[in-house]
Amino acid sequence: MRRYFALTAILLVGACTMGPDYAGPPRVLSGPYGENAGFVRAGPETVTSAVELADWWKTLGDPVLDQLEEQALAGNPDLAAARARLDGARAALRLENANSTPQVGAIGTAAHIRIPRFGTDEGADPAAEEGGTTSTNFYNLGLNTNWEIDLFGGQRRTNEAVRAQLDGADASVADARVGLTSAVAQAYLEYRDRQQRLVLAQQAVTTREGLLDLQRQRFDRGVATQSDVEQSQLALEAARQQVSPLKAEADRFANAAAILVGKAPGAVDGLLATPAAIPLPPQQIAVGDPEALLRRRPDIRVAERRLAAETARIGAAEAARFPRLSFLGILGVGGTQPSDLTNLDDFTAIAAPMLQWNFLDFGRGKAQVSQAEAKRDEAEASYRGSVLGALRDVEDALSAFRATRETVASQARGEASSAKLAQLAGQRFELGSGTRIALLQAELDHNEAQARLSRSKAQLTIDFVALQKALGLGWETPE
C-alpha cells in the first residue's frame, strides 16, 4: 500500500509544470507612442490605414521591377537557406514530440555466459563445469521499450521552447524576404538612375564637343582667344570623365540585381537594357500605427519568439533538478538452445520502473537554472532593443522620405525653369538675336538640371523602399 501511495504522490507532484509561464513580451511603447498614437514623423503624405504586407513594389507600376522581384523570390540563395532552416526547425519539433512518447524496439541476443561455480548443481553437465566455472548459452528474441514520465514538465517546457524556435524560424524567412525585396528594388532603382544619367552625360559630351568646335572657329577668325579654346577643352574632358564611372556603376548594380535573383552577373542585362523612367511612389503611403508595426515586423517577431523559448528553458532547467521516473520493459522468447526461440509458450517478461535523482550535484542544477534565467533576461533586453530599433527605422525613413520629396519638388521646378531658358535661347538664336554659344550653354544647364532631378527622383523612390522595409513589408502570412 505504501508503494502505491508514494507513486500517487509523485504523479500528483508531476501534475505541475516547473518554471514560469510565458506571459508575452514586455511593453516597450510609451510617451508619444501611447494608445491609438501614430508615428511622430508621419506627415500629410502618409495615412494610418492598414498596410499591404506583400508585393508593395507593385504600387510603383514597373513591370521590369515586378519580374526581378518574382525571380528573386524564386531563386535567391539566401532566402532558400532561410527556408531550409525553417524545415530544420520543423524537424526539430517533430523530434521533440517523438521524445515524449515511448520508444519500442526489437532485440535479438545470442550470448555465451561463463561464470564462477559456487556449488555443484544437480543435473548440471559435468563437462560444462571444468576449471571451477559454469558456462551456458543464452538465446533470446523480443521487444524492449523505454518511456520516461514527464513528472515535472521538463519535456513540455522543452517542447514549448522548440515550438517557439519554429515560429522564430518562420519569422526569419519573412524577414529574409523583406530584406531581399527591398534590396532588389534598391539595386534596380540605382541602375535606372545611372542609366538615365549616363544618357545625359553622353549628351553633355556631345554639346561640349560642339562648344569646342565653335571656340576653335572663333579663334581662327580672331574673335576668341587661346584661353577660350583651352577652357572649352578642359570642360569637355571633365564631361568625358563623368561617363566611365557611370558605366561602371550601372554594371555594378546590374550585377547586384543578377546575384539577388540567384543568377550569374550579366544574366539580367537584357531585361534592363531598354531605358525606362524611374518609377515614383504614390502620392500617399499607408504606414499604419506603432502597435501594428510590432505585430508585423518579422525581426521583432524573431526576438519575441526567442524570449518565449528562453522562458520555457527555465522550466526545463528547473525540472532537471527533480527526480526522473522511467519504465523499462522487455518481452521475448528464448532459452539455452536455438530451438527455444520457437517455443512461444515460454516467454520472458520484465517491467522495471526506475527512479533517478541527482540530489547531490553540488549546485550544478541551480547554476543551470541561473544560466537559463540570464539568457531569458538577455532575450528580453534584445526584444526591447529590436522594438526601439524598429521605431527608429520608421521615423528615420519617414523623415528622409519627406525631405527628399520636398527636394524633388524644388528640383522639378528648377528643371522646368532651365528647360524654359533653353527654349528661349533657341528662339533667340533662330531670330538672330542670340548666339549659338549661348544656346549650347543653356542646353548644358538644362542637362545638369535633368541629371540632378534624375538623381533626386531615384533617391525619393529609394527612400520609399527604405520606408517599406522599415514597416516590415514584403512578406505574406502563411495560409
pLDDT digits (tens, 9 = 90+) for 431-445: 888 888 999 999 999
476: pLDDT strictly greater than 90: no
The pLDDT-based confidence of 449 (bands split at 50, 70, 90) is very high
Of 65-69, 203-207, 354-358, least confident by mean pLDDT is: 354-358
The pLDDT-based confidence of 416 (bands split at 50, 70, 90) is very high
Residue 13 counted as domain residue: no
Per-residue pLDDT of 38-56, as tens digits, reads: 888 888 877 777 777 778 9
pTM: 0.83
Per-residue pLDDT of 230-241, as tens digits, reads: 999 999 999 999
- pLDDT of amino acid 463: 95
Residue 7 counted as domain residue: no
Q: Grid coordinates representing 218?
A: 572663333
Closest CA to 195 of 456, 463, 462, 455: 455
13: pLDDT strictly greater than 70: no
Strand 103-116, strand 133-149: pairing:
antiparallel
Amino acid residing at 341: L
291: pLDDT strictly greater than 60: yes
CB 19 within 8 A of CB 153: yes
Residue 9 counted as domain residue: no
Of 155-169, 257-271, 390-404, least confident by mean pLDDT is: 155-169
Closest CA to 95 of 40, 12, 155, 5: 155
- pLDDT of amino acid 12: 47
Residue 249 counted as domain residue: yes
1: pLDDT strictly greater than 70: no
Higher pLDDT residue, 325 or 8? Answer: 325
Higher pLDDT residue, 90 or 196? Answer: 196
Question: 10 Å Cβ neighbour count for 355?
Answer: 13
Backbone angles phi, psi at 332, to 5 degrees: -165, 180
- pLDDT of amino acid 122: 52
- pLDDT of amino acid 357: 78
5: pLDDT strictly greater than 50: no
Range of the domain at 263: 18-114+135-470
Distance of CA 125 to the CA centre of its chain: 73
- pLDDT of amino acid 260: 95
pLDDT more than 70, % of the chain: 91
Per-residue pLDDT of 129-139, as tens digits, reads: 455 678 887 77
Residue 120 counted as domain residue: no
Residues in the chain: 479
Sequence-separated (6 or more) residues with CB below 8 Å from residue 267: 258, 261
Average of per-residue pLDDT across 80-84: 91
The pLDDT-based confidence of 479 (bands split at 50, 70, 90) is very low
478: pLDDT strictly greater than 80: no
Q: What is the CATH number of the domain that holds 415?
A: 1.20.1600.10
Average of per-residue pLDDT across 273-299: 90
CB 456 within 8 A of CB 407: yes
Average of per-residue pLDDT across 159-176: 91
Residue 327 counted as domain residue: yes
4: pLDDT strictly greater than 70: no
- pLDDT of amino acid 127: 46
375: pLDDT strictly greater than 60: yes
Q: Tell me the pLDDT of the chain averaged across its residues.
A: 85
Residue 477 counted as domain residue: no
243: pLDDT strictly greater than 70: yes
Higher pLDDT residue, 134 or 169? Answer: 169
Q: Supply the Cα-derived Rg of the chain in whole angstroms.
A: 38
Per-residue pLDDT of 209-219, as tens digits, reads: 999 999 999 88
Higher pLDDT residue, 71 or 327? Answer: 71
What gap in Å lies between CA 261 and CA 76, rounded to an integer?
Answer: 5
Residue 1 counted as domain residue: no
Number of domains observed in the structure of the chain: 1
